[in-house]
């Protein structure tokens, strides 16, 4: 039975299998949340959040920034990774060690011991923001998994199949939950439904998502 979106999360971390190669690690990042949020504030002071445009000219409802050797960018020229922040021309802020350590430990817990992230997308959701179903396929090495960390308000994660037409399952994600997918699930479609209004003790009216990847 799917838990209620706003129900309390378990007191201890638990693991749920979503599909072959995809796991949900509930509350895996909770103990480090305050330190993660502190690092997000420092990163976004140097590389502010921005609403990027898709190649079709649509402005994304999610505000984004990046850290690491590579940052993910979308504009009228397409989707890509690049080493410089297009807003400043400077390199993206370095990935904090607490980010990289968390991503590696989550990947290892999910069965991917060799994951070394070099890109972290920082997404900020405010009420009304969402992310449509999509595949993460701009990375050169698709043998590496994706590690996704939720902080703040709860939001419903959609995890679909290898084609857009397959009906996705809906999974409520809470503060500190981490989803890892790779292997046969690496190119599954995924997204999140519209964020509902609320207030979280650490993030206020918003949710942050850290998505770790090996871009190059």
* pLDDT tens-digit series, residues 77-108: 999 999 999 999 999 999 999 999 999 999 99
Question: What's the total number of domains in the chain?
Answer: 1
> What's the CATH number where 87 sits?
2.60.120.590
CB neighbour class for 2 (10 Å; exposed up to 12, middle 13-18, buried from 19): exposed
- E strands, the chain, in order: 14-19, 22-26, 63-68, 71-75, 78-82, 119-125, 131-134, 146-152, 155-159, 169-173, 178-181, 190-192, 207-213
The reply to whether the predicted model has a pTM over 0.95 is no
- Could you tell me if residue 183 is inside a domain? yes
pLDDT at 79: 95
pLDDT at position 13 is 80
Taking the mean position of all CA atoms in its chain, how far away is CA 116?
A: 16
**Which H or E run includes 46?**
helix 33-46
| 140 within a domain of the structure (yes/no) | yes
- For helices 33-46 and 97-109, the axis angle rounded to 10 degrees is 130
**pLDDT tens-digit map of 34-83:** 999 999 999 999 999 999 999 999 999 999 999 999 999 999 899 999 99
pLDDT band at 11 (very low <50, low <70, confident <90, very high): low
The first and second tokens of residue 144, run together, are 């590496």
Taking alpha carbons only, the member of 16, 14, 22, 24 closest to residue 145 is: 22
pLDDT band per the 50, 70, 90 thresholds, residue 180 = very high
Three-state secondary structure call for residue 53:
strand
**Is the Cβ–Cβ distance between 43 and 65 less than 8 Å?**
yes
Asked, for residue 141, whether it belongs to a domain, the answer is yes
Place of tokens 């990027």: 52
Residue 17 lies in a domain: no
In a domain, 22, yes or no: no
In which domain, by residue range, is 193 found?
Answer: 29-211
Task: Tell me, yes or no, whether 6 lies in a domain.
Answer: no
């Amino acid at each position: 039975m799917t838990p209620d979106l706003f129900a309390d999360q378990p007191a201890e971390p638990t693991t749920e299998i979503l599909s072959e190669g995809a796991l949900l690690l509930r509350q895996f990042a909770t103990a480090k949340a305050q330190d993660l949020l502190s690092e997000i504030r420092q990163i976004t002071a140097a590389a502010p959040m921005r609403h990027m445009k898709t190649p079709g000219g649509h402005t994304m409802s999610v505000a984004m920034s990046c850290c690491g050797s590579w940052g993910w960018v979308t504009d009228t020229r397409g989707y890509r990774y690049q080493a410089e922040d297009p807003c400043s021309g400077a390199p993206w802020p370095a990935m904090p060690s607490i980010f990289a350590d968390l991503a590696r430990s989550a990947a290892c817990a999910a069965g991917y011991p060799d994951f070394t992230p070099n890109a972290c997308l920082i997404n900020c959701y405010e009420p009304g923001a969402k992310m449509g179903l999509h595949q993460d396929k701009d990375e050169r090495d698709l043998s590496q998994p994706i590690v996704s960390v939720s902080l703040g308000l709860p939001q419903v994660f959609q995890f679909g199949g290898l084609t857009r037409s397959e009906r996705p399952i809906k999974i409520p994600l809470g503060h500190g939950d981490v989803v890892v997918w790779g292997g046969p699930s690496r190119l599954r479609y995924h997204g999140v439904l519209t964020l509902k209004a609320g207030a979280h003790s650490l993030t206020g009216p918003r949710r942050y998502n850290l998505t770790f990847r090996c871009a190059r």
